[in-house]
Amino acid sequence: MTKSFPIAALAALSLFSTSSSALAQASAAQAAGRAKPSPLAPSEIVAAAPKGAWVQIPASDLLVMELAPDAKGKPRRVVIQLMPAPFSQGWIGNIRKLAGAHWWDGTSINRVQDNYVVQWGDGNADDPAKAKPLPAGLAEVPESEYTTDDRTVVIPFGKEPIFEGRKHALVSFGENRDAYAVTVGFLDGWPIAYGGGGRLVGSTTETNAWPIHCYGMVGVGRDLPPNTGTGAELYVVIGHAPRHLDRNIALVGRVIEGIENLSSLPRGTLGLGFYATPEERTPILSIRLGTEVQDLPAYEYLSTESVSFAKYADARANRRDDFFIQPAGGADICNIPVPVRRAQ
Amino acid sequence: MTKSFPIAALAALSLFSTSSSALAQASAAQAAGRAKPSPLAPSEIVAAAPKGAWVQIPASDLLVMELAPDAKGKPRRVVIQLMPAPFSQGWIGNIRKLAGAHWWDGTSINRVQDNYVVQWGDGNADDPAKAKPLPAGLAEVPESEYTTDDRTVVIPFGKEPIFEGRKHALVSFGENRDAYAVTVGFLDGWPIAYGGGGRLVGSTTETNAWPIHCYGMVGVGRDLPPNTGTGAELYVVIGHAPRHLDRNIALVGRVIEGIENLSSLPRGTLGLGFYATPEERTPILSIRLGTEVQDLPAYEYLSTESVSFAKYADARANRRDDFFIQPAGGADICNIPVPVRRAQ
């Protein structure tokens, strides 16, 4: 089969990628004196990033989900990174309480909709007689917190490269044309939108900012507005970024390892991908904060304010490695996934 | 659990969606004299489209893949629609020959990479001693055919609504901001880009047009350039649209039914998602042109030049149904999947 294609779009994200050996080959080509070595692929730029460009993720910001083993007895773990301030703090406080109370233990994956989401929580939540009681003290978070107008996080958009140590900067690619926002970029390692969509709507102004529904992002299921959800029902995006959900629902984090344990589950056959029978649901053994998990490795992400990230993002927008004949000249924000790996 | 969320992004595409009952509820609300019924959701607009807005797909443009049954003995069929002229004609001619020769029978799914592609073909193609010989008469297609400059298909971009019967029109949404092309739209039922990316590259001009790597699109695996692939190795997108592949590889069609039989397969554990052992591959029993399949239903797509499609696309870009509090004001071209269903 044709192993050279399609290239590994997400090799940089893979904990088991071949990027190191690919990099070694590139170096060998240079050492051998070939006139024009292939420009580095994005995964090779990430592999070559200096140690100082990586930011360790505190264990207290991790959520570890253990699913029941698969049909062959293989354990299935999913690791989630929670978002930092100022985004979604009310819901994230609730999620910390739910995890601390071990509330999700014995709940299940209840919904898998192709090219959309995997959703988990209490499979009996709709039946008052059977619903699992929530822990006391969960906050009711207002809709206004889907976005933030905290001006301390908003930095004017610019096309300059970003350098190490600059805080809260927005990284730009090409003309940065986005169908959903005035501009988009990265803030402290997260994909963030600023300002309104193709036409400005309601009270949204350029100083509003909100997180983006990219592949792997985790959000809070809710009922009809003004309900905003507690955080007990969570979902992860497993398809093309459903950006129309931005500003309509709370995003609280992203899956950084083991998403294949969710994205490859059988699709539900009822409307919206819900399973037709309880037997089809995948049991959740436990969900814990990282600080409660003994064997948890450390994780780190590539600083979105580093030179390495700027080069990586530029290469994602303009592939120049051997496979490509036509660099795109731009990139969708969700096609520039922030590299995350086990700490090295 | 919270059944009302997340809403069904692709309900319009689902052959088993709940859109009819949702529509019935909306009508009931109107009949009951409620002052302000909820605006129709995209799936409801599609369900209400008149018969004349649907275009039947010729069986000769369908490709039917039968995988080995799953672990429970359930048959697994995938139906693919091939692209019309002027796009990708050389490769599509090859695919018709390969299907006519029953060449894929006994081949397999060899690669499943999360958030990227599922790829199939001859699992021994890299081993000259074991590779399956290709049928005679396959064309070698030049790279220039990744795009077309056939001016008869290029219509100036405009913001006017599109009306029934207008051919080759481009449908516009909001300001139509796209990171990869001067503009994007729909042509005869397919998502098409026009012109260069955020910056124009090489010889690309506004009169170039090419198909877009949205979720579910099918393309031709290839080796390093100038190889362009024969069509014997095919892949389907199962993640966020990898638009950097546009203009670098041939797109030949899209999955219109059964994509869950591919997207939920176990991910491969080798680099690029290849399976580590032949036993992990899913056998392909057969791939046939639709004209050779006796029990094949007829399929139809919603004309992208119909009033109904314009309303559907507008609703995708501006969700006003009860769940939403903030319409996006725009939409990514790949978030406006062209509705396809069994003919009614």
A215 in contact with chain B, both atoms CB, cutoff 8 A:
yes
Put simply, the answer to whether B113 touches A10 (Cβ < 8 Å) is yes
Residues in chain B with CB shorter than 8 Å from the CB of A71 are 71
Residues in chain A with CB shorter than 8 Å from the CB of B41 are none
What confidence category does residue A284 fall into, taking pLDDT thresholds of 50, 70 and 90?
very high
Judged by CB atoms within 8 Å, which residues 255-294 of A form the interface with B?
A: 259-260, 263-267, 269, 271-272, 274
> Which of B119, B180, B248 is facing A330, going by the closest CB pair?
B180
B180 in contact with chain A, both atoms CB, cutoff 8 A:
yes
- CB-CB contact of A237 with B21 (8 Å): no
Tokens of A281: 């649901």
Put simply, the answer to whether A111 touches B1 (Cβ < 8 Å) is yes
Nearest CA in chain B to A232: B1
Mutate to test the interface with A, among B244, B254, B270, B277 (most CBs of A within 10 A): B244
What does the alpha-carbon distance between residue B65 and residue B104 come to, in Å, rounded to a whole number?
A: 9
pLDDT value, residue A163? 38
Q: Provide the percentage of residues in chain A whose pLDDT is more than 90.
A: 63
A44 in contact with chain B, both atoms CB, cutoff 8 A:
no
Residues in chain A with CB shorter than 8 Å from the CB of B255 are none
Query: What are the beta bridge partners of residue B286?
Result: B66
Question: Which has the higher per-residue pLDDT, A105 or A317?
Answer: A105
What does the alpha-carbon distance between residue A161 and residue A171 come to, in Å, rounded to a whole number?
A: 7
Put simply, the answer to whether A267 touches B274 (Cβ < 8 Å) is no
Sign of the alpha-carbon dihedral angle for A200, A204, A207, A209: negative
Report the C-alpha dihedral over residues B65, B67, B69, B71, rounded to 10 degrees.
Answer: -140
Rg (CA), chain B: 21
Residues in chain A with CB shorter than 8 Å from the CB of B221 are 1-2, 5-6
Question: Which has the higher per-residue pLDDT, A198 or A285?
Answer: A285
Those residues with Cβ within 8 angstroms of residue B171's Cβ, 6 or more apart along the chain or in another chain: B162, B185, B186, B304, B305, B309, B310, B313
Q: How far is CA A44 from the centre of its chain?
A: 21
Put simply, the answer to whether A326 touches B121 (Cβ < 8 Å) is no
- CB-CB contact of A309 with A171 (8 Å): yes
Q: How far is CA B113 from the centre of its chain?
A: 18
> Which of B5, B221, B243 is facing A332, going by the closest CB pair?
B243
Question: Which has the higher per-residue pLDDT, A175 or B288?
Answer: B288
Rounded average pLDDT over A192-200: 57
Mutate to test the interface with B, among A25, A201, A326 (most CBs of B within 10 A): A326
Put simply, the answer to whether A233 touches B332 (Cβ < 8 Å) is no
A150 in contact with chain B, both atoms CB, cutoff 8 A:
no
How many CB pairs (< 8 A) connect A and B? 329
Tokens of A124: 């009996």
Mutate to test the interface with B, among A4, A114, A262, A316 (most CBs of B within 10 A): A114
B151 in contact with chain A, both atoms CB, cutoff 8 A:
no
Kindly tell me if the per-residue pLDDT of A166 is higher than 50.
no
Pick from A82, A46, A340: nearest CA to A211: A82
Those residues with Cβ within 8 angstroms of residue A34's Cβ, 6 or more apart along the chain or in another chain: none
pLDDT value, residue B173? 52
B200 in contact with chain A, both atoms CB, cutoff 8 A:
yes
Rg (CA), chain A: 21
What backbone phi and psi angles, to 5 degrees, belong to A210? -155, 155
CB atoms < 10 A from the CB of A9, how many? 24
Kindly tell me if the per-residue pLDDT of A230 is higher than 50.
yes
Mutate to test the interface with A, among B17, B272, B334 (most CBs of A within 10 A): B272
Location of structure tokens 């009169």: B207
SS3 string of A171-236?
A: CCCCCCCCCCCCEEEEECCEEEEECCCCCCCCCCCCCCEEECCCCCEEEECCCCCCCCCCCCCEEE
> Which of A116, A201, A272 is facing B326, going by the closest CB pair?
A201
How large is the ipTM? 0.87
B323 in contact with chain A, both atoms CB, cutoff 8 A:
yes
Q: How far is CA A187 from the centre of its chain?
A: 13
Nearest CA in chain B to A19: B271
CB atoms < 10 A from the CB of A20, how many? 12
A152 in contact with chain B, both atoms CB, cutoff 8 A:
no
Enumerate the H helices of B76-180 as residue ranges.
Answer: 89-100
Kindly tell me if the per-residue pLDDT of A162 is higher than 60.
no
pLDDT value, residue B225? 95
B306 in contact with chain A, both atoms CB, cutoff 8 A:
no
Put simply, the answer to whether B180 touches A332 (Cβ < 8 Å) is yes
pLDDT value, residue B86? 82
What does the alpha-carbon distance between residue B134 and residue B275 come to, in Å, rounded to a whole number?
A: 23
Of A108-117, A174-183, B104-113, where does mean pLDDT reach its minimum?
A: A174-183
Put simply, the answer to whether A16 touches B269 (Cβ < 8 Å) is yes
How confident is the prediction for chain A on average, in pLDDT? 83
pLDDT tens-digit profile, chain B (344 residues): 333 344 333 222 222 222 333 333 333 334 444 456 779 999 999 999 999 999 999 999 999 999 999 999 999 999 999 999 889 999 999 999 999 999 999 999 999 999 999 999 999 998 999 999 999 999 999 999 998 876 544 444 444 434 344 444 455 555 668 888 877 888 889 998 877 433 333 444 445 789 999 999 999 999 999 999 999 999 999 999 999 999 999 999 999 999 999 999 999 999 999 999 999 999 999 999 999 999 999 999 999 888 899 889 889 988 998 999 988 888 999 999 999 999 99
CA distance A182 to chain B (A): 10
Residue ranges of E strands in A113-182? 117-121
Write the pLDDT tens digit of every residue in A29-63. 344 444 567 899 999 999 999 999 999 999 999 99
Put simply, the answer to whether B334 touches A240 (Cβ < 8 Å) is yes
Residues in chain A with CB shorter than 8 Å from the CB of B331 are 179-180, 243-244
Rounded average pLDDT over A252-256: 98
pLDDT value, residue B30? 41
What does the alpha-carbon distance between residue B169 and residue B186 come to, in Å, rounded to a whole number?
A: 7
Kindly tell me if the per-residue pLDDT of A192 is higher than 60.
yes
- CB-CB contact of B10 with A114 (8 Å): yes
Query: For the purposes of burial, counting CB atoms within 10 Å of the CB of B129, is it exposed (0-12), middle (13-18) or buried (19 or more)?
Result: exposed
